[in-house]
């Protein structure tokens, strides 16, 4: 437990490096492909999250007990969250040049999940890994090592900002994941 807190603190100190112009471009180019299939990609990402990390379903009243991936795929609550996640990422990708906009979007997301939905922040880290995994598989032609590196940087930055908001609102971890 103490070790985990150390890790979170260490994460806080290491602000991810800002994106290079070339990395922004790679992210925007690959996102354009992903966003063409926004619903499919979003649903595939969330299904992978909920199947591989079933405890992440606990926050979703309408499908927390559902295990069958085909059943999950039909859930309106899941599909709605998929769309919201994809739209938020789209706003970030469209505004990578505007640090203030990025921060304001992530503040809203962080606050809603900490205060309203009471989601353990570790799930944002887990979701980042799932996003990289699913996009790497489904868009393998586009996700070269350089592209994966750029996306990793962006996802790390998202997590860093979200954890910052959790700390600001005084989040206390209630249970082990």
State the residues that interact with ligand HEM by CB under 6 A: 56, 59-60, 77, 81, 84-85, 88, 109, 112-113, 116-117, 119, 123-124, 127, 158
Phi, psi of 15 (to 5 degrees): -65, 130
CA–CA–CA angle 81, 23, 157 (5° rounding)? 50
CB-nearer residue toward ligand HEM: 22 or 87: 87
| Measured distance CA(165)–CA(72) in Å, rounded | 30
Q: Show the beta-strand stretches assigned E in 19-80.
A: none
| Measured distance CA(7)–CA(175) in Å, rounded | 17
- Which are the contacts of 137, defined by CB distance < 8 A and separation ≥ 6? none
CA 81 distance to own-chain centroid: 12
CB-nearer residue toward ligand HEM: 15 or 80: 80
Q: Smallest gap, in angstroms, from Cβ of residue 100 to ligand HEM?
A: 18
Q: Smallest gap, in angstroms, from Cβ of residue 19 to ligand HEM?
A: 17
Q: Smallest gap, in angstroms, from Cβ of residue 41 to ligand HEM?
A: 13
CB-nearer residue toward ligand HEM: 30 or 56: 56
Q: Smallest gap, in angstroms, from Cβ of residue 93 to ligand HEM?
A: 12
CB-nearer residue toward ligand HEM: 66 or 109: 109
Q: Which two tokens stand for residue 150?
A: 């750029």
Under 8 Å between Cβ of 27 and 93: yes
Q: Smallest gap, in angstroms, from Cβ of residue 162 to ligand HEM?
A: 8
CB-nearer residue toward ligand HEM: 127 or 163: 127
CA-wise closest residue to 14 among 166, 157, 172, 168: 157
């Amino acid at each position: 437990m103490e070790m985990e807190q150390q890790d979170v603190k260490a994460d806080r100190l290491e602000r991810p490096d800002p994106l290079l112009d070339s990395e922004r471009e790679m992210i925007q180019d690959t996102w354009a492909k992903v966003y063409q299939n926004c619903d499919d990609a979003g649903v595939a990402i969330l299904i992978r999250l909920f199947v591989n990390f079933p405890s992440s379903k606990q926050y979703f009243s309408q499908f927390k007990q559902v295990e069958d991936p085909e059943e999950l795929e039909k859930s309106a609550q899941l599909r709605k969250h998929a769309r919201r996640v994809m739209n938020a990422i789209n706003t970030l990708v469209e505004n990578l040049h505007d640090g203030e906009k990025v921060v304001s979007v992530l503040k809203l997301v962080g606050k809603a999940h900490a205060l309203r939905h009471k989601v353990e922040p570790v799930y944002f880290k887990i979701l980042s890994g799932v996003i990289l995994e699913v996009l790497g598989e489904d868009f393998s032609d586009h996700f070269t090592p350089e592209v994966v590196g750029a996306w990793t940087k962006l996802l790390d930055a998202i997590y860093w900002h979200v954890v910052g908001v959790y700390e600001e609102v005084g989040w206390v971890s209630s249970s082990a994941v």
